[in-house]
Structure 1
Amino acid sequence: MIHILDEITLPPERIPEVLKLLREYHLPSHSARGLTLVGEWVCPPVAMPGKSNVLWLSWQVDDAPAWYRMRATTTPEAVECWARIDALCESRRRHVMVDADAVLPVPLKADHAA
């Protein structure tokens, strides 16, 4: 299983707008692409004047081939959704992870024979 954690820093008043964009533009195609939304969280759990919050989105895909299939089948709606989210947020980072006990594949060496 591959876990994807999106970290979106934004003003707290923007959180409902970002969630609406995700639900209208990104989520309709996500399951067909092998992507499962696992959870949505906000940190800190309060809105503080003049302070940003972090919206955490947790996703899963089955394995590395599913990750690459998901990336290869990105829809125009998903691209538009993330562009609109980027315009609303201060920063956005994506973390792609596997379980710490998983056996990590070793990349193949490129053949550099001359």
Structure 2
Amino acid sequence: MADGKVYVIDRVVTRPGRARDFVDAYLAEYAPGARERGMTLEHMLVSPPIWFDDESNTITVTWSLDDVDAWWRMTWRGRPDPGLGQWWTQVDQLVVERSRSMASAAEDVDGLSDV
């Protein structure tokens, strides 16, 4: 088994003045399902650290999963769920752009690659 945590990083640039609305919706509506899929919320960062009324903020959310197997379980639980795509469509009016990436600690890469 490949050891080491896998991190899922969501980066969202919000529409001007909508960062707080996005954060509230993400935590209330998206996060519970993510937790059910085995994800643990590590950090939610707001950049810059001020709620703008007329500018965009960047929200960076870091989730963790215990290992590659947990990442695969989360992935296969989420892929067939139409509710995830519907949720992102629902909050589209709050978002300018978004991306998701995966990462691990450098010392874990060799072990995680050996699957």
Compute the TM-score of the two structures, normalised by the length of structure 1.
0.77
Q: Which of 97, 110, 113 pairs up with 1:105? A: 113
Give the structure with the higher percent helix.
2
Task: Report the 3-state secondary structure (helix = DSSP H, G, I; strand = E; otherwise coil) of the residue aligned with 2:36.
Answer: coil
Flag structure 1 segments of 5+ consecutive residues without an equivalent. Answer: 108-114
Flag structure 2 segments of 5+ consecutive residues without an equivalent. Answer: none
- Comparing 23-32 with 38-47, which one deviates more in the overlay? 23-32
- Counterparts in 2 of 1:39 and 1:16: CA distance versus 1, 3 Å: same
Number of equivalent positions: 107
- Comparing 45-54 with 7-16, which one deviates more in the overlay? 45-54
Q: Specify the alignment match of 1:29 in structure 2.
A: 33
Q: Specify the alignment match of 2:6 in structure 1.
A: 2
- Comparing 34-43 with 98-107, which one deviates more in the overlay? 98-107
C-alpha deviations, 1:39-58, integer Å up to 9, x for none? 11111123557532101111
The one-letter amino acid of 1:18's match is: F
| Cα-Cα RMSD | 2.2
**Which of structures 1 and 2 has the bigger CA Rg?**
1
Identical pairs, percent:
26
Q: Specify the alignment match of 1:19 in structure 2.
A: 23
